[in-house]
């Protein structure tokens, strides 16, 4: 059944019936990929970007068919974009916490070595002023 329908469409429209629609979809996919490139891994990020891309494609096709995107599609795009932003914020907060924890461990290690050498431990302010930029 599907094969016959496809053959009828190919006979009517040729091998590539709607090249402008395919180009539109590819452009949306490329734009979504370019806009959401980040240098760190986040679990679930790729899936959310793909979901957002599907909704964006749907919205563009709705604009072609009905002249505007349906409210449900627009709401889905906003909801997925919000989830993506939340995921990015959580990843950035996690990275910041890891950096703070690493700094704290480094200070403890430095002060431990200073005490073993008979030197007084440094306060965090002293470490800041004796750092590479201080």
pLDDT per residue over 83-126, tens digit each?
989 988 888 898 899 999 999 898 889 888 888 888 888 777 66
Q: Has residue 17 got a pLDDT over 90? A: no
Of 108 and 42, the structure prediction assigns the larger pLDDT to: 108
**CB-CB contact of 49 with 84 (8 Å):** yes
Nearest to 92 by CA among 39, 50, 37: 39
Q: Which residues contact 15 (CB under 8 A, 6 or more apart)?
A: none
State which of 28-32, 44-48, 102-106, 118-122 shows the largest mean pLDDT. Answer: 102-106
* Percentage with pLDDT > 70 across the chain: 72
Does the global pTM surpass 0.75?
A: no
For residue 134, name the pLDDT band (cuts at 50, 70, 90). very low
Environment class of 56 (CB within 10 Å of its CB; exposed 0-12, middle 13-18, buried 19+):
buried
Rounded CA-CA distance 59/67 in Å is 10
Q: Tell me, what's the pLDDT at 88?
A: 86
Q: Over the chain, what is the mean pLDDT?
A: 80
Domain range list for the chain:
18-129
Rounded CA-CA distance 111/46 in Å is 42
Of 112 and 29, the structure prediction assigns the larger pLDDT to: 112
Q: For the residues 53-72, what does the mean pLDDT come to?
A: 89
Q: Has residue 34 got a pLDDT over 70? A: no
């Amino acid at each position: 059944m599907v094969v016959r329908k496809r053959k009828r469409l190919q006979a009517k429209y040729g091998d590539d019936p709607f090249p402008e629609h395919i180009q539109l979809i590819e452009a949306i996919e490329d734009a979504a990929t370019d806009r959401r490139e980040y240098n760190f891994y986040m679990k679930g990020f790729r899936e959310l970007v793909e979901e957002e891309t599907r909704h964006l494609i749907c919205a563009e096709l709705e604009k072609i068919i009905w002249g505007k995107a349906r409210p449900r599609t627009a709401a889905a795009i906003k909801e997925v974009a919000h989830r993506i932003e939340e995921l990015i914020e959580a990843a950035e907060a996690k990275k910041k916490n890891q950096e703070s924890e690493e700094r704290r461990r480094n200070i403890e290690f430095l002060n431990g070595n200073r005490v073993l050498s008979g030197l007084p431990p440094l306060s965090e302010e002293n470490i800041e002023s004796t750092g590479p930029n201080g």
